[in-house]
Structure 1
């Protein structure tokens, strides 16, 4: 009898006979059901002259009922099915999952979905530090990569373990290098592609080391994938915090500018008031009065009171409604707030080099609680915001007339509101645009009118 080792057992030397009381190593896998440990010994082939003279056909003779032909047909059908399944598997492996496809689409249009929502970038950094500690623990404990402990080399289990251990270190190093490269190249918009790249690396390692039953452990792979997700979230949160800090600094600069304007105006008012008081006092000593100077003094006192109110009440200011048809098209408005003494100065700043044409002013409404009024207008048109991610951009798909109706509902009365945008610079420039640009912006008929083309009358 000849010993027949089950799969995963080391192969014994030829002629090996188990000693008395021998039992298999408990770490070896269980033999498959029905496995025969001992088989009849196969006799060696001999050079038999008689047999050598026999002609052996390369193909077996078919049975009378043609069963061999049917076996061949079934085998061919199975081969075809296996080839089709392999092709389908390769296609499915190459295609991203529906969730990844959706993430790619959202990221392509600038919409980011947090995988692990946290409040601050610092919270993400703490979570990443925890993952780094877990990663190190996985590697130290040897649980990062799974491999067979029964692989033999040169019929030696010890040599097989050494070779398997060395190769597992090499494979783990290759996998970690792929993850680290993905982390370094990671941006807030390419997480799905980075994850597919790491998945492909793990699959390749499992494929190349299949003989040793070696693969990156599912737990370790899940940990590194979570690290990718948290890193992407951390990068996006840092970007959001930088933008918020930039907006906060801009708001502080604007507030400082307003305070400087109020202080400068108060100094001028105090100076003029002192001059009027001295003049009226001199006239009074001479027994004279001046109604015009007294009226002007009352105006100065009112202006000083208003200045003090503005300085004490930071919620007071002007809510403005402006548009720029040349830059953003028709029926797009910006609804904002400024505390400037001259609100048109702020609008002039917005009309700087960043836009091709000046903003058109539709309304400048002073409110003692301009902050609340602005927020109410933003909430009313929130479903028509151009930027659905950053609410501080303040542009909305709405006509000036629509904003006017909402303003009337909020404040009851508006002294001045211009529903039409003159757009002088835009209209003058439009007439000089190339024909294809006019048609793209206005359409064929309006483009002809912009150029001044008119039909010839009979």
Structure 2
């Protein structure tokens, strides 16, 4: 068999493999995942040196390797990424139409004929491009937020395999075309991350608006109650004055109500005023984790009780609830102070930190002075009552 025939056979085999991978992709991923899990369980000896030809496909391992995701083509929003992807894919199609995707030897002869050689290289170029594009499409379809490096390694390997098969005829995937398809992977990954971020921001904004509506309703209801109470005491004051009785106690009540109304109006007008709270949940997160948050509720513990709903196994314990005229700034300062101790470094809007209540108390005391009420130790009543019934291995 001649070199040219061997190349043709090799490319056809590669194309069949790639197309089969495209059809049976999910099964292959499940099999590889099962193999990785079984190997991890069975491994009793130190691992052998990693084979550079192997590509990790386990999402958890990949995400741990890459760290915090960084955008390769920073754009403002997901729609911009979508438009950039559409333009890039149009460029990819144009490169295929203009025969710029595969580098082809210009003077290759077959059976001593340049015409036959051009016909052969044209057919082989189509086979190469189909094989390469099949792998590129597989990489796009299996893209997950954060596993871009794995997809790029797979695509690089496909380009190198095709180059090896076409070495005898000086045929390979052009660097410009490979760059475009690599950029397509980057934009796809960026788009997926941006969509994920925007969904998270939208969810948090809806939560913020719900919280604001609750605060507005509470303040309006409190103002209505105070107005009724004030009207009642004014009527009593009028009757006592008309009969010449002592009105000092009623006047004190009216002063108290006036102060409460002024405070309520201040809370309604000043959106930065509120309560900064420090809470923990050792049954859910362990003893060294706290949440530092903010609420504008009239009764801040209502917010804490909501956080300790069905989403966590035990209610939160409250270590501090501090009212501030500028609670937004105070909360941000505390978050910056413990910024390096966040649980979630990928999403800074999550307010959990590796810190003890005592560590937070010391920082809070430096910023606001002495704290009259602060609990260093959590009660965690339900946690301690339940722990004795847990399996011994827990």
TM-score normalised by the chain length of structure 1: 0.70
Aligned partner of 1:225 in structure 2 is 182
Is it true that 1:357 corresponds to 2:309 in the alignment?
A: no
Residues 227-277 of structure 1 deviation map (CA, whole Å, 9 limit, x = unaligned): 111211121122112111211111111011100110111111111111211
Structure 1 contact 104–192 (Cα < 8 Å) conserved: no
Q: Please say which of residues 233-242 and 299-308 is displaced more in the overlay.
A: 233-242
CA distance in structure 2 between the aligned counterparts of 1:165 and 1:124, rounded to whole angstroms: 34
- Work out which of the residue numbers 182, 186, 190 in structure 1 matches 2:139: 182
User: How far, CA to CA, are the matches of 1:105 and 1:111 in structure 2?
Assistant: 11
The equivalent residue for 1:388 is: 345
> 1 CA distance for matches of 2:175 and 2:51?
20
1:401 to 324, 343, 358: 358
Alignment RMSD (CA, Å): 2.4
Which residue, out of 107, 117, 121, partners 1:164?
A: 121
Query: What TM-score do the two structures reach when normalised by structure 2?
Result: 0.81
Structure 1's 92 and 110: CA in aligned 2 closer, same or farther, altered over 3 A? closer
SS where residue 293 of structure 2 aligns? strand
Structure 1 pair 109/382, CA: closer, same or farther in 2 (3 Å)? same
Question: 2:70 matched to 1:129?
Answer: no
Cα pair 1:258 1:339 within 8 Å, conserved? yes
Shift of 1:92: 6.7
Over alpha carbons, which structure has the higher Rg?
Answer: 1
SS at structure 2 position matched to 1:435:
coil
* 1:368 alignment partner, one of 302, 306, 325: 325
Tell me, yes or no, if the aligned pair for 2:63 and 2:147 is still in contact at 8 Å.
no
**How many positions carry a matched residue from both structures?**
344
> For residues 378-433 of structure 1, what are the alpha-carbon distances to aligned partners after superposition, in whole Å with 9 as ceiling and x for unaligned?
11111211112211111112111111111111011222111111111111111222
Match of 2:112 in 1: 155
Task: Please say if residues 104 and 190 of structure 1, whose CA atoms lie closer than 8 Å, have aligned partners that are also in contact.
Answer: no
2:53 aligned residue: 94
Tell me how far 1:214 sits from its aligned partner. 1.7
Please say which of residues 407-416 and 346-355 is displaced more in the overlay. 407-416
From 174, 178, 202, give the equivalent of 2:159. 202
Residue 175 of structure 1 aligns to a residue in which SS? helix
| Alignment CA distance shift 1:268-1:228 (3 Å) | same
Any residues of structure 2 matched to 1:133-144 within 5 Å, and which?
Answer: 133-144=90-101
Give the whole-Å Cα distance in 1 for the aligned partners of 2:71 and 2:93: 26
More RCO (CA 8 Å, sep 6+): 2
Alignment of 1:228-247 (within 5 A): 228-247=185-204
Which SS does the other structure have where 2:349 is aligned? helix
Deviations 1:27-58 (A, max 9, x none): xxxxxxxxxxxxxxxxxxxxxxxxxxxxxxxx
Q: Tell whether the 8 Å contact from 1:107 to 1:189 is kept in structure 2 after alignment.
A: no
The 5 Å alignment of 1:231-380 reads 231-380=188-337
Asked if the contact 2:241/2:247 (under 8 Å) is kept, the reply is no
Give the deviation of 1:312 after TM superposition.
0.1
**Counterpart of 2:72 in 1: which secondary structure?**
coil
Q: Which structure carries more helix by proportion?
A: 2
User: 2:24 maps to which residue?
Assistant: none
Corresponding position of 2:130? 173
1:93 to 1:413, Cα distance in 2 relative to 1, 3 A: closer
CA distance in 2, matches of 1:271, 1:109: 61
Note the alpha carbon deviations across 1:274-306, whole angstroms, 9 max, x for none.
121122222322333433322221111111111
Helix, strand or coil: the match of 1:197?
Answer: helix
